[in-house]
Structure 1
Amino acid sequence: MSRVKLLGVNGSPASQRVEWALKIKGVKYEFITEDLQNKSPLLLKSNPVYKKIPVLLHNDKPIAESLVIIEYIDEAFEGPSILPKDTYDRAIARFWVKFLDEKCLPAVWKALWSQGDEQEKDKEEAYEVLKVLDNELKDKKFFGGDNIGFVDIVANFVGFWIGIVEEATGVVLVTSEKFPNFCAWRDEYLNCDKVKENMPSREMLLGYFKSRVQAIAVTPK
């Protein structure tokens, strides 16, 4: 019987992606919570290059980086497919997850937390990447079609976390007027039972981000 452990942090989008993939496959696993301010010897040994979560340990063999881990889970364990079966569709899915992680997430995160003169410029950059997603989701229920798949799992930050951070910071990026297709997808996404089962407490995250906003407000400029 294989031994599966996940080094992660509750409330981390990257950790949550991997947990979701494990649950889709029906894999039993042990979740080991890491303190990122005091990283464990196990984490540093398992991911000596990046020293980050998440890390999957399968029979004591470590796999790092959430996207790599999800593909590993899809190939290593029996159960419903996460990536598309078709070679072309699989390549397209990989393209969009790369776009989400390398272009969308950084731009959106920066815009949500920027202040002063930089804020409008950062918001415009975030609008550009969100418009790309909005165009991709035209006439689609989910990124992969009618069912949640690889891209939707990776899109958990824009689907779930954005709205919470918007509420905490008071910075509104996503409206149905600007991004109707994206908002329609998000509504489907947030009302999906699979999503509800695999996301952390909204109240917990909102409290966390509000505390960050307060900490920033009292930090000397």
Structure 2
Amino acid sequence: MERLGTGIGWRPEIADAVERMPGLDWVEAVAENVCPDHLPASLRRLRERGVTVVPHGVSLGLGGGERPDEGRLKALAERAQALGSPLVTEHIAFVRAGGPLTASDRIEAGHLLPVPRTRDALDVLCENIRIAQNALPVPLAVENIAALLAWPGEELTEGQFLYELADRTGVGLLIDVANLHTNHVNQGEDPAEALSELPLEALAYVHVAGGFERDGVW
């Protein structure tokens, strides 16, 4: 996978500040906030300077029980092509439930929800990622999320889950170290152990961010 260098998350609210940053190799833009037919002027200027733009999706729901929506995959592919991106990223999460195959109306969570770290859930996630990989024009990398809860009956540690996911699908890993810390605070998981279990050859890039603790929850 292409070496990206040093980057930052691009958002419209901080676009001017991002453009003024020296030594910037690439930026990450939320895919759903970018229209491929009308790219923001700031992103166009960055691209003209040789700054790489990576679309970062938040709505595929690759960890859900349904197969990835073809329309959402097409939209993500269009953004990658419009931006000339070397890869796209998404999350190891589900974001909706219910729908025609269930007894419930479809519900959009509006949040990234954790996938149970079980063998069955891993099988579903792997198949959904393979479908996404086949539909996208560039490689896919997926990010570990911050979880406020753990599912009962989990069979794998976070590191084991990520290792098997990458090993079985060839997907890249976007590792958010702040999310590993969050899971340490909220659930007592060992971030050093998770990092030691990761296949470094699958690493696409790393998120370094922050947060705060409130009432014992990060």
TM over 0.5: no
Q: TM-score, normalised by structure 1?
A: 0.32
Q: TM-score, normalised by structure 2?
A: 0.33
